Structure 1
Amino acid sequence: MRIDLHTHSTQSDGTEAPAQLMRSAADAGLDVVALTDHDTTRGWGEAARAVREVGVALVPGIEISCAVDGISVHLLGYLVDPLDAALLGELEHARASRRTRAQRMVERLAPDTGLTWADVQEQFGAETTIGRPHIADALVGRGVVASRDEAFASYLASGSKYHVSHYAPDPAFATRLVRAAGGVPVMAHPFAGARGRVVDDSVIERMADAGLAGLEVHHRDHSDAEVGAGLGLAERLGLLVTGSSDYHGTGKQNELGENTTSPEVFEAIVAEATSGTQVIRP
């Protein structure tokens, strides 16, 4: 079985609608794919309706944007209860903050780039979780930069004068929220230093104490040394080890199935879920 447990659709910062993402997963030869849009579960229904057509099982999930000491931490939550009040409240808080943050960044960018909020609005739908990638796509559309990567390396870098932070919960708190919602929390790309600062092991230990189930060790943004360190940390803390693509369609170079999770780990994740949300199988 080929299992990819980290992908994004147009409900957040991916470029493919949920149903198209499922078709792409089939084309890539996957047997199981998780839809883990940022701070939303709104793509689950469309993706689930495509399961029988494409023959790929769907793991409903989310990716929660967290932060500690100014460092970004991303937490994957698999098979959560999408109606859990505490989790929903936190996700809506984050989504509202993201929108306000994006508007403020556009205000800062406008004098130097001519960018408008209308330009950015053309990049997402009414229910989309808004993020910097949508601003990047608007900058590409205006001809300011050639790609998302160029935008993130310049105008949208965390240290740039245009950057604005947004609300993000503490990762241990978010881990407890996922567990309370019956889901299974796995830390996404925890050692990706190329993206910016990463947390030290003490934060991951605190997340483990809060109920963290696993680490996404096999990821394109991890070096061989970081993979080795991740495997050692997972063993020490008794955590599952996953591998995923972090696919965003044409928004990033990541390819579906470029890293995968073993069937044994996948079944362990499914067994830990208590929400009643199930894997949608063909």
Structure 2
Amino acid sequence: MDIDFPLILMVATAVTGLIALADKLWFAKQRLARIDELRQQQASSEEVEEAAKEPFIIEQGKSFFPVLAIVFVLRSFIAEPFQIPSGSMEPGLVKGDFILVSKFHYGLRMPVFGNTLVPVGEPERGDVMVFFPPNDPRYFIKRVIGLPGDKIVYRNKQLTINGKAVPTKELGGEPPYNPTKYLAQEQMDAADAEVQWVVGVDRRTNQKVVWAGPEGEWTVPEGSYFMMGDNRGNSHDSRGWGFVPEENIVGKAVAVWMHWENWSDIPGFSRNKWIN
């Protein structure tokens, strides 16, 4: 079962905040009134200290609220860390990369609900974006290929947007970490995307073939985006599950700040870079 951490954080912040507010407006005044009453009755210092003592729930709520509030604001409106869980964005991002996602590049959004509070900017073709796929609570990271209204065609390893072929240069060669891939480069609006295709063998001819993933034609509806992984031959993306609604956007991936693939390994920083 996937844990909805943003919802849990929002609820925890709200609950602890309400506890702190209730104490300030009501319970603290009750304690002070009780202390004054005990002093007028010349009660012992132990009784006064006991009356001044905050209940456990109030003490914990007031202690956790500032921390939760800071984390909530930073995570919801500034930046959030993520770990790349698969190879769908190879060769640029590989499994185990820890990335930083800007939460304000596409406008300040209401946590959990996703609606835009303050518009700042909009996704561009070529941006690497974190989002929720339709009908899936998990975070995904892919590259923005189609904007609202775009006509997308992907056939024979060639990407075409609104009737214009995206300049594509086959680089050949094979990534050292994954020798069963074939590299290419696409010139997008926001960035040049280095993509890779899967190298295989045709069983009928015994000849080398390059698999570039599912093909087809799509028209992006208003308020949605078409996403594809850079690992075109092995990526579960909009070619399979459709378009990403605007309210499902989480943020723009801006940097790799650590690589840590397995818990038994030592974290490394040699892959640190800005994300194109």
Calculate the TM-score normalised by the size of structure 2.
0.22
Output the TM-score relative to the length of structure 1: 0.22
Judging by fraction of residues, say which structure has more strand.
2
Higher relative contact order structure (alpha carbons within 8 Å, sequence separation ≥ 6): 1
- Larger helix fraction of residues: 1
